[in-house]
């Protein structure tokens, strides 16, 4: 495969081994052509140089994902690469665009879930790890982009996983096609559900597999013009028909025969079957059962599968009757008849099976016998009946069995296709071919000959494709490839199928001659092909022949070739079965006009086989092919076992080695310029100095080493076979010399270091000794000085002590004498002062006693008099209070009566369905009553206005009294209060009278309605109008009451101002206890407009409700807020203005209003087609979120308990109520209560339109939030692909001037991310978006960054390197710095979202990973990562800087064991992360992040403030 290379001692090589196929070792000696190698297994091997291949010493320990990247593309290199990847559960590997799949024999669910499909969707081929999804995606993209049908050829021997790979391909194509479910099942599911049926009738046990497919399957998945799956079809090829009649030991016939023999008792009796050993078609082999397979359960499962694909129970019964009939046909034996060359059934047993077969076929037994034992020859003049001898009868029997089974299998395939459904208008399709692989056994018969012919044809197609790919790459790189020879297997195909001299043609010719035997056929082959290089005759063999296939030599035994090739198309058989009374059997053999006139005609299975094969190749040639080669690693079907010999044979049979030979015929080694210079730059360092041209550097290097025949492409260096090994040998030589120099320098350095250390130690010992002597001398001198000083201080201490004792004695005597004298004098002075004090207290007590008695008598007199006067005044005040309480009780009674009246009105509403007939008669009376009520209302209004005017005149004419002293009770004020009470009594009486009259009228109306219940059906509209008028009347009465209250307040204020001009404190106190003018506007009116306050128009009429207004105000309002009106005090003006207008117009309490719909339309039109404008979106996110917050705080659903306390908190609407509140409240308002009031927003009962508007607004907040977040993700998506992998730099000084990357240039991609984040943060803060939403945006964005970086790290091996970890770590440090600068108010917990990529990168940059234990990894380094993720990182890791090892094999083994255990219990074993695109907040969380008091100083829109219709915004 590669040219011989010069190997030196110490070179690493591969040598052949009888047990392991290839083993690696080190060259010990070279003796001419003999090379002595010490293998890693410990044994010494001597091999020829032609059988020794170089080993890449720098190959990654975990292998490469594309074997075209191997430094040495040869057989041992490919085998070692597959084994190293299989050991770490990397079961997929590329060879160019060919996928090699090694069966793991265990579940690996993390490789096949929806996350993995999403990762491969749209990814370039080869960008991610090898996978069937990548092949399917490449086929789908080519079909969509170029409009060319695609095909995926899945091949391999039995048990290699072809069916599973096919299933994965269809799963991914269904995922991409996105076809909706049809009848509860997708196309992919329907195709897979047909597998049990096809396996039962098309699979059988062979030497290598218990469930081998004996037919080829081509699944066509059809797509429409939009790339959606529109249908599917299953095409079957090359069914092994001869197996029905001939079975070799220890193989079996098709599974369905054994299933039927193990069917339930009633079915076996119905079909008259039993032990399979009794049937000739089954007992040719001694194998009847399969280990681990219960045929009875398989029978039931097959019938269920038939139900699934739409086969009815009647059809199932007919199918198994046909299968049973075939078994009975095989037991019919023949003997010579009475006439010459005639035959007849041999015995009673044969007659029984004949009759049973006829019964099951539902045909005549005599006709069946005649069709087997006779032939009818039709001539021009007459019809001749020819008798058949026993041997010909047996051939006729077998021909009938084979044709019936073949037609049955074809019918099943057609039925399944009809069940799935096909699209005749489909323009493109993707076909998946699942066909048996190359077979070579001890005994190879006609079946193996046909199968290997198929694989030869497919291999030719494969070789042409591989050569085409090589040509395309050479053309793309613009190199000269015209002299490259193409290895073709056309000579083998000509040997087998060429006409008229091919093997198949000679076999057909032999079958047409009755006296031909396998020996005459063999002799014909020997004579015809004796000089053919691909054909040979084995020694000591009489009838065998050997064909040299691409996968190796195969020897075929011809004993049964002729029998298995015969395939008679007998007219008598067709006539017999067409005449069957069973419609199913007759449909298997439809009668055509062309065939009815023809005689029985010979046809061979080989010829039909060749025709089907040609049709298959024509289909494949019309498509763009893709290849998947499935490999079975061992014959034990167990995981973690890799048998080299077995795998190597499959690689040869699968054409992988043939593809490598084609590649080696050209330029097997292809290296990018940068990698080539990086690896071989040491061969000529002077070439690297000052050069900036990659091509020139590579040419100089190659010329320097003297290589010839290489090619320089546009991006790569192309080397011939063996040249890479020669370069590596020279590189090893240079490295060896360099190692010797390094060793010499190191030894010199170590000797110098030891000498320096010894010299330094001697000097140190000397200095220590000298220091010790000096310290001892100094210590002695210091002791002598200390002794002298101690003696001096001791003598001084003794002298000072004697002096102090003498002085202390003299002072003590003097102190005692002086103290005695002073104490005597002090005692005399204290006695004198005490006598004087006693005298003064005695005199004061006598005077104070007399004064107290006089004062007590005076106070007693004053209190008695004042108490008498106060009791009189108290009696008068109690009487006034009783009158006030009576008024309150009357008011409460009236309120109850109003409630009762309201209840009765509601009762009347329920009864109005029965009062429709009296509608016409009562209309006039009710209208008259209504007019009277209106007249009374006008009279009461006039009376009320007169009273108000009189009150104003009385207040104006009142004289101001001059108070000279402070009385206990103000009689004038009491008189005024009494007068006001009298007026209130009059007003209440008049209202009570009106209510009584209204109630009487209602009672009269109710009585009339009850009397004429059946005639009142037509009066409903009048009652509705009456109720509406009454409601309006009540509203007008309330308005008049409000006006009356305001006027009374104004009169009180006028009187208070007049009284306040005097210095009397009593009126001030009363004003404080009453309803003060400053309390008219409540604290809530700072933010909200109180609904009870009435604004009057110039004509002194109240405003109409919003539902009755014109639309001009709404239009003006919408035109203003749709514009960018800016912000006030950090809050959006538009949201605040909308809220105040809606509240003033009472839109929240309306049953019907169009304001909300117009607002929603306005917001929708404002953000329409503005998805990419983040500034505009941020402005509307700020407004909508703020408005939603205000609505959340204000709106309560109608009838909820939460609205009741809010109503009670409103100020009283009557003067009496305000006075009552004044009597009960303290004299001054607490500042704390006022501050608490600011925090509250008045809540209103919202109707349905308001609640719907709130939901729609919430949806817009979520939509705008999602747009801003997705815009940021979109901007970051393209940059993140560049941030996961560090820019490649050349080694040494290559390309220093322009190509090398410095630290700044390596982080420019990360700085682009920082710029995107900073730009969006600036936009959000400028538009005053709530910090809570800003936190959520950046938190989700950082989670997206974490998912993208982490998934790319796990899917791309080139990213799991030491240098790449340092690069990503530096970028993450930039993100952390940005989070700190943005402050926690905006960044929140965004940094914590990067925990996966942080821990993964932290693991990559750790040195000496092989010393780390598994517990340290999962507990300290990467606690957040799963076992699957850690295993993936550990196996993909490679150190591109220092070539250090990954974790130890023990850690890898522990992870693999845990993964195996978790795969049986875990719901999802995906190692990839999923990006969460949901809305991460609720309305309650948003509301809790904002405060009402922040809106204290917010100003409405300036444009509306200038409009008189919006003057309410000024308050």
- 102 in Cβ contact with 670 (< 8 Å): no
Distances (CA, A) of 186 to 35, 167, 174: 61, 13, 8
- Of the candidates 129, 209, 522, 1435, the residue annotated as catalytic is 209
The number of residues making up the chain comes to 1515
Query: Is residue 212 flagged as an active site residue?
Result: yes
**Which string of b and e fits 675-699 if b means at least 16 CB within 10 Å?**
bbbbbbbbbbeebbeebeebeebbe
Residue 594 tokens read as 């062309």
Query: Is residue 163 flagged as an active site residue?
Result: yes
- 584 in Cβ contact with 318 (< 8 Å): yes
Distances (CA, A) of 1156 to 145, 1147, 1161, 1247, 1256: 47, 8, 9, 12, 10
Q: What DSSP string describes 1110-1169?
A: -SHHHHHHHHHHTS---EETTEEHHHHHHHHHHHHTTGGG-SS-SHHHHHHHHHHHHHTT
Cβ neighbours for 266, distance < 8 A, ≥ 6 positions apart: none
- 320 in Cβ contact with 261 (< 8 Å): no
Query: Is residue 274 flagged as an active site residue?
Result: no
What span, in angstroms and rounded, lies between the C-alpha atoms of 258 and 324? 10
Residue 1468 backbone phi and psi in degrees, to 5 = -135, 125
Residue 649 tokens read as 């044979």
Place of tokens 């940094």: 1391
- Of the candidates 89, 149, 213, 1009, the residue annotated as catalytic is 213
DSSP 8-state code for residue 96: T
- 12 in Cβ contact with 55 (< 8 Å): yes
Beta bridge partners of 203: 213
Q: What DSSP string describes 933-972?
A: HHHHHHHHHHHHHHHHHHHHHHHHH------SS--SS-HH
Query: Is residue 1468 flagged as an active site residue?
Result: no
Q: Which helix (H) or strand (E) holds 493?
A: helix 490-497
- Of the candidates 103, 212, 344, 1435, the residue annotated as catalytic is 212
Query: Is residue 437 flagged as an active site residue?
Result: yes
Pairing mode, strands 98-102 and 150-156: unpaired
Q: What DSSP string describes 212-247?
A: EE-SEEEEEEEE-TTS-EEEEEEEEE---GGGGT--
Distances (CA, A) of 518 to 241, 242, 244, 293: 20, 16, 20, 37
Classify 64 as helix, strand or coil.
Answer: coil
- Of the candidates 202, 231, 437, 1365, the residue annotated as catalytic is 437
Helices marked H in 362-482 — which ranges?
365-373, 390-420, 446-477
- 265 in Cβ contact with 299 (< 8 Å): no
- Of the candidates 157, 439, 456, 726, the residue annotated as catalytic is 439
- 1399 in Cβ contact with 1417 (< 8 Å): no
- Of the candidates 84, 149, 163, 1387, the residue annotated as catalytic is 163
What span, in angstroms and rounded, lies between the C-alpha atoms of 659 and 653? 11
Query: Is residue 1292 flagged as an active site residue?
Result: no
**Which string of b and e fits 928-958 if b means at least 16 CB within 10 Å?**
ebbeebeeeeeebeeebeebbeebeeeeeee
- Of the candidates 25, 96, 159, 654, the residue annotated as catalytic is 159
> Strand 229-237's sheet: what is its strand order?
92-95, 98-102, 624-631, 150-156, 428-436, 216-223, 229-237
Residue 584 tokens read as 């199913």
- Of the candidates 158, 417, 463, 669, the residue annotated as catalytic is 158
DSSP 8-state code for residue 1406: -
- 544 in Cβ contact with 521 (< 8 Å): no
Q: List residues with catalytic annotation.
A: 158-159, 163, 209, 212-213, 437, 439
């Amino acid at each position: 495969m590669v040219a011989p290379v010069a190997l030196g001692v110490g070179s690493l090589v591969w040598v052949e081994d009888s047990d392991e196929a290839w083993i690696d070792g080190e060259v010990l000696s070279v003796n001419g052509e003999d090379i002595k190698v010490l293998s890693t297994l410990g044994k010494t091997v001597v091999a020829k140089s032609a059988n020794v291949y170089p080993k890449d010493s720098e190959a990654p320990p975990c292998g490469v994902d594309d074997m075209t990247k191997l430094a040495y593309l040869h057989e041992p290199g490919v085998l070692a690469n597959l084994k190293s990847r299989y050991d770490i559960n990397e079961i997929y590997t590329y060879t160019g665009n060919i996928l090699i799949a090694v069966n793991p024999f265990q579940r690996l669910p993390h490789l096949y879930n929806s996350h993995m499909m999403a990762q491969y969707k749209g990814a370039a081929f080869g960008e991610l790890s090898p996978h069937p999804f990548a092949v399917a995606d490449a086929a789908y993209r080519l079909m969509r982009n170029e409009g060319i049908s695609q095909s995926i050829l899945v091949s391999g021997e039995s048990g290699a996983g072809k069916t599973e790979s096919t299933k994965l391909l269809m799963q991914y194509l269904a995922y991409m096609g996105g076809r909706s479910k049809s009848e509860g099942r997708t196309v992919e599911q329907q195709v897979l559900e047909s597998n049990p049926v096809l396996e039962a009738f098309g699979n059988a046990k062979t030497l290598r597999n218990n469930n081998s497919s004996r037919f080829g399957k081509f699944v066509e998945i059809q797509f429409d013009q939009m790339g959606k799956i529109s249908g599917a079809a299953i095409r079957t090829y090359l069914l092994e028909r001869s197996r029905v009649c001939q079975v070799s030991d220890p193989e079996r016939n098709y599974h369905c025969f054994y299933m039927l023999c193990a069917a339930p008792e009633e079915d076996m009796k119905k079909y008259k079957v039993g032990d399979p050993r009794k049937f000739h078609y089954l007992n040719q082999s001694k194998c009847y059962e399969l280990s681990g397979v219960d045929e009875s359960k398989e029978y039931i499962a097959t019938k269920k599968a038939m139900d699934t694909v739409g086969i009815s129970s009647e059809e199932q019964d007919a199918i198994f009757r046909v299968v049973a009939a075939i078994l009975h046909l095989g037991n019919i034996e023949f003997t010579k008849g009475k006439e010459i060359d005639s035959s007849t059934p041999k015995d009673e047993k044969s007659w029984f099976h004949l009759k049973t077969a006829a019964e099951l076929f539902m045909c005549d037994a005599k006709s069946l016998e005649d069709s087997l034992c006779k032939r009818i020859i039709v001539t021009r003049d007459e019809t001749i009946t020819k008798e058949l001898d026993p041997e010909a009868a047996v051939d006729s029997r077998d021909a009938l069995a084979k044709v019936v089974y073949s037609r049955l299998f074809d019918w099943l395939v057609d039925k399944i296709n009809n069940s799935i459904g096909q699209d005749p208008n489909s323009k493109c399709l993707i076909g998946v071919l699942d066909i048996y692989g190359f077979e070579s056994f001890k005994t190879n018969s006609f079946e193996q000959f046909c199968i290997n012919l198929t694989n030869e044809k497919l291999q030719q197609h494969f070789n042409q494709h591989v050569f085409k790919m090589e040509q395309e790459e050479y053309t793309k790189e613009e190199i000269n490839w015209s002299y490259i020879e193409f290895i073709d297997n056309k000579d083998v195909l000509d040997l087998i199928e060429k006409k008229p001299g091919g093997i198949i043609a000679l076999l057909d010719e032999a079958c047409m001659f009755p006296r031909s035997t396998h020996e005459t056929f063999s002799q014909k082959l020997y004579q015809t092909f004796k000089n053919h290089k691909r054909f040979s005759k084995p020694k000591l063999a009489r009838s065998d022949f050997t064909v040299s296939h691409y996968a190796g030599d195969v020897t075929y035994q011809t004993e049964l070739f002729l029998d298995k090739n015969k395939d008679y198309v007998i007219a008598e058989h067709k006539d017999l079965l067409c005449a069957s009374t069973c419609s199913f059997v007759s449909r298997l053999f439809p009668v055509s006009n062309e065939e009815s006139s023809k005689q029985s005609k010979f046809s061979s299975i080989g010829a039909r086989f060749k025709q089907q094969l040609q049709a298959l190749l024509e289909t494949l040639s019309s498509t763009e092919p893709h290849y998947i080669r499935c490999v079975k690693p061992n014959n034990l079907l167990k995981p973690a076992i890799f048998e080299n010999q077995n795998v190597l044979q499959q690689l040869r049979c699968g054409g992988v080695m043939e593809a490598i030979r084609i590649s080696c015929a050209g330029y097997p080694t292809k290296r990018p310029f940068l990698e080539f210079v990086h690896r071989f730059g040491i061969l000529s360092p002077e070439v690297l100095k000052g050069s900036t041209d990659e091509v020139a550097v590579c040419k100089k290097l190659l010329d320097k080493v003297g290589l010839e025949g290489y090619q320089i492409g546009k991006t790569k260096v192309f080397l011939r076979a063996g040249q890479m090994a020669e370069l590596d040998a020279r590189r090893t030589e240079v490295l060896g010399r360099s190692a010797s120099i390094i060793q010499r320098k190191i030894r010199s350095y170590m000797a110098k270091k030891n000498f320096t250390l010894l010299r330094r130690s001697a000097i140190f010992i000397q200095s220590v000794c000298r220091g010790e002597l000096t310290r001892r001398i100094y210590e002695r001198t210091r002791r002598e000085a200390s002794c002298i000083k101690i003696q001096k201080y001791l003598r001084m201490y003794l002298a000072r002590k004697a002096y102090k004792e003498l002085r202390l004695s003299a002072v003590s005597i003097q102190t005692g004498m002086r103290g005695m004298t002073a104490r005597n004098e002090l005692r005399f002075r204290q006695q004198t002062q005490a006598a004087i004090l006693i005298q003064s207290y005695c005199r004061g007590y006598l005077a104070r006693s007399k004064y107290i008695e006089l004062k007590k008598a005076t106070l007693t007199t004053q209190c008695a008099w004042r108490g008498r006067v106060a009791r009189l005044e108290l009696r008068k005040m109690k009487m006034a209070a009783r009158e006030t309480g009576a008024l309150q009780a009357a008011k409460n009674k009236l309120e109850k009566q109003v409630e009762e009246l309201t209840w009765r009105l509601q009762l009347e509403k329920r009864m109005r369905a029965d009062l429709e007939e009296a509608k016409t008669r009562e209309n006039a009376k009710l209208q008259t009553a209504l007019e009277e009520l209106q007249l009374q209302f006008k009279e009461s209004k006039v009376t009320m206005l007169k009273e108000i005017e009189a009150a104003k005149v009385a207040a104006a004419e009142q004289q101001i009294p001059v108070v000279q002293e402070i009385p206990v009770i103000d009689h004038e004020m009491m008189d005024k209060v009494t007068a006001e009470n009298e007026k209130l009594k009059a007003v209440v009486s008049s209202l009570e009278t009106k209510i009584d009259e209204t109630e009487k009228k209602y009672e009269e109306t109710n009585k009339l309605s009850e009397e004429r219940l059946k005639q009142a059906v037509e009066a409903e509209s009048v009652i509705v109008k009456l109720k509406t008028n009454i409601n309006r009347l009540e509203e007008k009465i309330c308005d008049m009451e409000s006006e009356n209250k305001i006027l009374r307040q104004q009169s009180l204020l006028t009187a208070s101002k007049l009284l306040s001009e005097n210095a009397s404190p009593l009126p001030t106190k009363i004003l404080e206890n009453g309803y003060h003018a400053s309390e008219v506007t409540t604290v809530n009116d700072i933010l909200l407009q109180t609904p009870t306050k009435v604004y009057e128009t110039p004509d002194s009429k109240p405003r109409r409700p919003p539902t009755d207004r014109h639309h001009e105000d709404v239009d003006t309002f919408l035109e203003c807020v749709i514009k960018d009106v800016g912000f006030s005090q950090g809050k959006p003006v538009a949201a605040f203005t909308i809220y105040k207008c809606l509240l003033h117009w009472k839109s929240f309490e309306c049953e019907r209003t169009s304001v909300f719909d117009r607002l929603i339309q306005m917001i929708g039109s404002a953000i329409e087609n503005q998805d990419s404008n983040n500034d505009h979106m941020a402005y509307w996110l700020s407004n909508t979120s703020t408005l939603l917050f205000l609505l959340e705080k204000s709106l309560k659903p109608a009838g909820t308990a939460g609205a009741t306390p809010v109503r009670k908190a409103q100020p009283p609407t009557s003067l009496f109520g305000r006075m009552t509140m004044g009597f009960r409240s303290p004299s001054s308002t607490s500042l704390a209560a006022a501050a608490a009031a600011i925090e509250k927003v008045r809540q209103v009962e919202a109707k349905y339109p308001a609640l719907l508007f709130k939901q729609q607004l919430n949806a817009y907040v979520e939509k705008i939030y999602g747009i801003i977040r997705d815009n940021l993700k979109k901007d970051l998506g393209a940059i993140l692909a560049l941030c996961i992998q560090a820019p490649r730099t050349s080694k040494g000084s290559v390309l220093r001037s322009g190509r090398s990357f410095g630290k700044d240039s390596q982080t420019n991609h990360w700085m682009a991310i920082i710029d995107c984040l900073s730009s969006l943060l600036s936009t959000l803060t400028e538009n005053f978006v709530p910090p809570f939403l800003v936190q959520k945006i950046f938190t989700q964005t950082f989670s997206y960054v974490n998912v993208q970086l982490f998934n790319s790290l796990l899917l791309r091996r080139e990213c799991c390197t030491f240098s790449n970890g340092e690069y990503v770590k530096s970028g993450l440090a930039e993100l952390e710095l940005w989070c700190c600068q943005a402050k926690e108010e905006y960044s929140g917990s965004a940094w914590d979202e990067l925990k996966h990529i942080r821990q993964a990168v932290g693991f990559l940059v750790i040195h000496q990973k092989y010393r780390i234990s598994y517990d340290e990894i999962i507990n300290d380094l990467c606690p957040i990562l799963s076992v699957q993720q850690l295993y993936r990182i550990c196996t993909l890791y490679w150190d591109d800087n220092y070539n250090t090892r990954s974790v130890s094999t023990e850690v890898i083994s522990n992870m693999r064991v845990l993964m195996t255990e978790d795969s049986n219990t875990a719901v999802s074993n995906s190692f990839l992360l999923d990006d969460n695109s949901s809305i991460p907040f609720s309305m309650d969380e948003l509301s809790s992040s904002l405060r009402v008091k922040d809106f204290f100083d917010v100003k409405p829109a300036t444009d509306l403030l200038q409009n008189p219709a919006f003057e309410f915004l000024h308050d």
